[in-house]
Chain A
Amino acid sequence: SQQGEEDPQALSIQEGENATMNCSYKTSINNLQWYRQNSGRGLVHLILIRSNEREKHSGRLRVTLDTSKKSSSLLITASRAADTASYFCATVPRAGNNRKLIWGLGTSLAVNP
């Protein structure tokens, strides 16, 4: 099945810096979602952006969506050690079975104290 692609695969920053992760996808979508996974745990939904939205904020998170380029970015501002996790993007395709999410392979973020 098609998958999104995140880049970078891994990112290491210092506490207080901003972290930016990118996601590209292949087909038209209804929405795009970002999830976080702490080591060895289940995923937690962070934020959803609809195909007719360009930018969305939630606390220290900012998500942008460019449907013409089929890409999204997740910005975490003023990062903390607790933000250390893997971050996944997932899309709900416009066509086909839209109950299934199409997942990227994730970006591993390390925030050093």
Chain B
Amino acid sequence: DVKVTQSSRYLVKRTGEKVFLECVQDMDHENMFWYRQDPGLGLRLIYFSYDVKMKEKGDIPEGYSVSREKKERFSLILESASTNQTSMYLCASSSSGTGREDTQYFGPGTRLTVL
């Protein structure tokens, strides 16, 4: 079974802090994604990556950056956390190889509160 792990389930940070959210997958997937989920807004894509050191902006990249130095690890960075970044953050991975058809596998989520 695919396993996607996220570094924290709950996180509380102060405004202006630099925040790192880590995601690790163990199935050699080439694609990795960061979403945020807010009530009534569904899943919104922040950034995704389909190879090491490759990244593409999603729908809401402002205020975020990402890093993918190794295939299994995808980090989301909040350079200077703000209260409007309080949200549930979900990491996912997928493979585009034959038969995989871009099914995404999700981590358990990190609920971030910025005070």
Interface residues of A (CB under 8 A from B): 1, 3, 30-31, 33, 35, 40-45, 48, 50, 88, 90, 92, 97-101, 103-106
Contacts and interface: CB of A to CB of B under 8 A. Distances in A.
B42 A45 contact: no
Contacts of A30: 101-102
B102 A101 contact: yes
A17 B27 CA distance: 37
Interface size class of B (residues with CB under 8 A): 20 to 34
B108 A31 contact: no
Contacts, number: 60
Contact of A40 (B4, B42, B56, B111): B111
Interface string B50-85: 100000101100000000000000000000000000
Nearest to B35: A103
Interface of B: 4, 31, 33, 40-43, 45, 48, 50, 56, 58-59, 88, 90, 92, 94, 96, 101-109, 111
Contacts of B4: 42
A45 B56 CA distance: 24
Given A1-B59, A92-B102, A99 B42 contact: no
A44 B103 CA distance: 10
A3 to B, nearest CB: 7
Contact of B106 (A33, A40, A44, A99): A44
A49 to B, nearest CB: 10
Contacts of B50: 99
